[in-house]
Amino acid sequence: MAATIVVLPFPTEMVGGYGEDRFTVVLYIGTILASSACLTALSVAIRGRLVGGAGSMTALLALALLVAAFVPGVGYTALLLLFLAPLVERLWQRWRPGDWAA
């Protein structure tokens, strides 16, 4: 996780220099996704399960990365998907895989 924190200023500087270039967008969102994935893994390692919005945030960042990479012209607007985190978290709490009757 520390590596993603150390690397983050590099993509941030690229945002200032290259703006909406697709590679820059994917690198920036990918770095944030890597950091979020590390935090999610750390949360699972400590608690033994997903806690809070860690999983939903990581999933939404992965979706934002895919949208930014494959939909032309979307760019950083894909990060607006993160506003769906409370909704995704409520859905996850409602339909947790462990709560389904076998």
Kindly give the confidence (pLDDT) of every residue in the chain, 102 residues in length, as a single tens digit, with 9 standing for 90 and above.
678 889 999 999 999 998 889 999 999 999 999 999 999 999 889 888 777 678 889 999 999 999 999 999 999 999 999 999 999 888 877 876 655 444
Which pLDDT belongs to residue 19? 82
pLDDT of residue 20: 86
18-48 b/e with 16+ CB inside 10 Å = b? eeeeeebbbbbbbbbbbbbbbebeebeeeee
Which pLDDT score is estimated for 101? 46
pLDDT for the residue 75 = 93
pTM: 0.85
pLDDT of residue 69: 96
Contact 27, 7 (CB under 8 A): no
